[in-house]
Structure 1
Amino acid sequence: MSTPMQYYNSIPPVSKKYATICLLTSLGCHLQLYHPSILALYYDDVFKQFQIWRLITNFFFIGYFSFTFAFRLLIILRYGVQLERGPFDKRTADYIWMFFFGALSLLVLSAIPFLWSPAMGGSLVFMIVYVWSREFPNTRINIQSLVELKVYYLPWAMLAIDLVLGNRLMPSLKGIGVGHLYYFLTVLYPLAGGSNFCKTPFWVYP
């Protein structure tokens, strides 16, 4: 049986870094080292006070320590890791680009007032779930020993869980939408004979 450190060291690099940063970000809020509002996406502060970091830090807050936080962290460590070890194996740059694409798309959506969210870590996590569900559509999954369903329907099942937990649905819906856009542009459209307009740019490669 592996130790916690052995497990941590076994996590592939992108998922490890994102999960670690999200954990430390929420830990800092829990210890009251700072308030989440300093990380949040406020476009007025970005453009009028040049607080550029908000364009990035809002993606690292996935909630205060709670069931929702644990659920989202588990998604990164389970489905994110399976993506990185499976379809994105030896394609680290492509996996990083998926995150970049998702973040950029969410920033654009949040410029629309009724689609704005102060923190979009949850949306990025839902993008991971959606892409994973499309890569492994026929796999069957058991949710809390209550419901068994095909992975293809997992994002919608998790949306229902968000509804039960009283979480806002808009961030999750945005994650699903951006995940579908990424999968359509990188997989479905090229398979249909179209060009890959979402090809990983050269500057992402090490």
Structure 2
Amino acid sequence: MSSPAEYYNSLPPISKAYGTICFLTTALLQLGLLAPYHIALLYPLVFKSLQIWRLITPFFFLGKFSINFGIRLLMIARYGVQLENGPFDKRTADFLWMMIFGAISLLGLSAIPFLWSPFLGVSMVSMLVYLWSREFPNAQINIYGLVNMKAFYFPWAMLALDVIFGSPILPNLLGIIVGHLYYFFSVLYPLKTGRNPLKTPLWLQRLVVRWRLGVQRTTGAGPAVRDNTSTGTGAFRGRAYRLDR
């Protein structure tokens, strides 16, 4: 059995970095070294006071140390890692681009007053869970040892639990919306049209290789050229699944 340090070192780079920053952010808040106000998404301060960091920091707050915080962190460690090690294996730039797309989309939705949320970490985790559920739709999920279901329905079950426990449903709902946007434009739309509007930019592929953030499969000349024979984004690869009943 591997030690905690060995397990941590074995994690793929993007999921590991994201989970680590989320943990450190909560630790700083818990120690009183950082206030939630200073990292919240407040558009008036972004544009009037040029507090640009507020466009980034909301994605790293999953709440204070609690059971819910632990569950969200475990979701990154399980579902984010399974995505990065599975359909995004050796495609670090594609995985990073997926998260960048998710972040930009969440920021756009949060600019709508009735969809605004000061913190978007839960929404980002919800997006990862949604995409995982589409990649592994027939995986079996057990919720609190009471209910077994296929992974395809898991995001909606989490949304229902928010309603039951009186938690805000907006963060999870935003994550589901953005997750489906990514799935539509990276899988469904390319399957129908043969065009991929979410192709990972070459500059990001080169950046991943230059900074040694992970591994990006290469084809042809150059350090990080995408395989253009695939209609997907590097993940999913245009696969379709049938829910076995």
Question: Shared fold (TM-score greater than 0.5)?
Answer: yes
1:169 counterpart letter in structure 2: I
In 1, the alpha carbon distance for the partners of 2:126 and 2:181 equals: 13
Name the count of aligned residue pairs: 206
Q: Give 2:3's aligned residue.
A: 3
Could you tell me how far 1:42 is from its partner in structure 2? 0.2
Deviation at 1:202, TM superposition (A): 1.5
Which whole-Å CA distance do the structure 2 matches of 1:181 and 1:71 have between them?
24
2:137 is aligned to: 137
Q: Deviations over 1:55-79 (max 9, x none)?
A: 0001000111111111110100000
Q: Deviations over 1:19-43 (max 9, x none)?
A: 0000000000011111111000000
What does residue 47 of structure 2 align with? 47
- Segments of 5+ residues of structure 2 without an aligned counterpart are 209-245
Shift of residue 113, structure 1, vs aligned partner: 0.4
**For 1:142-162, what per-residue CA distance to the aligned partner results, in whole angstroms no more than 9, with x for missing partners?**
222211101000001111222
Specify which structure has the higher proportion of helix: 1
Corresponding residue for residue 195 of structure 1:
195
Matches within 5 A, 1:32-111: 32-111=32-111
Distance in 2 between residues matched to 1:120 and 1:192, nearest whole Å: 32
Partner-residue secondary structure (3-state), 1:41: coil
Other structure's SS at 1:168 match:
coil
Superimposed CA distance per residue, residues 49-108 of structure 1 (whole angstroms, 9 cap, x where no aligned partner):
010000000100011111111111010000000000000001110000010000000001
Q: Which runs of 4+ in 1 moved over 6 A?
A: none
Q: Residue 73 of structure 2 aligns to which amino acid in structure 1?
A: L
CA drift of 1:171 comes to: 1.2
Partners of 1:110 and 1:104 in 2: how far apart? Answer: 10
Pairwise CA RMSD of aligned residues?
0.9
Per-residue CA shift, 1:145-191, capped at 9, x if unaligned? 21110100000111122223322101110100000000110011111
Deviates more, 1:160-169 or 1:139-148: 160-169
Q: Which entry has the higher C-alpha Rg, 1 or 2?
A: 2
> How far apart, CA to CA, are the structure 2 residues paired with 1:170 and 1:121?
12
1:43 partner letter: Y
